[in-house]
Amino acid sequence: MHHLRRATPKAYRRLARCSAHEADLSVEARILEAARSVFTRTAPPVSEVGKILEELSGYFYLTLLTKGEEEIQRKRIADAGLTRAFDHISIVPEKRESDFADVVAESRMSVESAWSVGNSLASDINPALRIGMRAIWIGAHVWEYERRESQLAPRPGPARPGSSGPARRTSAPGHGSTAAAIPRRPACRTPSASRSAR
């Protein structure tokens, strides 16, 4: 949020200058407050997300990989009641392929058995595919910056059995946080197993 305090007034002053207007300190204060509220208000979680994560946790090692300022992201996760829903939480400034590799390494599982689930091709899906993970893209609203990629990245690896090439990928139209799911061992856990039993 420190960057926001510097960048928002600077952008407003530049806009005022470009449009030949005098910057108004009261307008600047209102703009800064509106920008701050994006980071301080509680965002409601997607319906049923807690229940879905609880169900998945019986079968998968769940990691949340999210980008942003640590303090803000930790607050958002806590506000959503999801702190205990994940086995591991990783907060990074930008999601890179190396961050996905680190998440998989932390789980001590193979990259081929790991899945990334997210709503941004650029940040959630393509970096995962590039290192050999599998991915599920959720076509949900994202901000414009996350629409910078509109094609799925090729996933390295051998061809599917019975096919002449790698698994077919389709393009997706312009489209956060990523949840990585890695199968637990043994694979025969029951969905009713409690998280505290792990």
| CA gap 184, 5 in Å, rounded | 43
Walk across the sheet containing 115-118 and list its strands.
88-92, 60-67, 177-183, 115-118, 134-137
Place of tokens 């509680």: 42
Confidence check: pLDDT of 20 > 50 = yes
Averaged pLDDT for residues 179-189: 49
Count the neighbouring beta carbons within 10 Å of the beta carbon of residue 58. Answer: 16
Q: Is 31 helix (H, G, I), strand (E, B) or coil?
A: helix
Q: Which CATH number fits domain 49-192: 3.30.2270.10, 3.90.1010.10, 3.40.50.300, 3.40.50.1000?
A: 3.40.50.1000
What is residue 181's three-state secondary structure?
A: strand
Sign (positive or negative) of CA dihedral 42, 47, 49, 55: positive
Query: Would you call 60 helix, strand, or coil by DSSP?
Result: strand
Cβ neighbour number for residue 62 with a 10 Å cutoff: 23
25-29, 38-42, 46-50, 172-176: the lowest-pLDDT one: 172-176
Domain segments of the chain as ranges: 2-40, 49-192
Give the SS3 label for residue 122. helix
Write out pLDDT tens, residues 101-124.
999 999 888 999 999 998 888 888
Give every CB contact of residue 144 below 8 A, 6+ residues apart in sequence.
none
State residue 27 phi and psi, 5-degree precision: -65, -45
Predicted local distance difference test score (pLDDT) of residue 128: 94
Confidence of residue 181 (pLDDT cuts 50, 70, 90): low
Residue 176's closest CA among 86, 82, 76?
Answer: 76
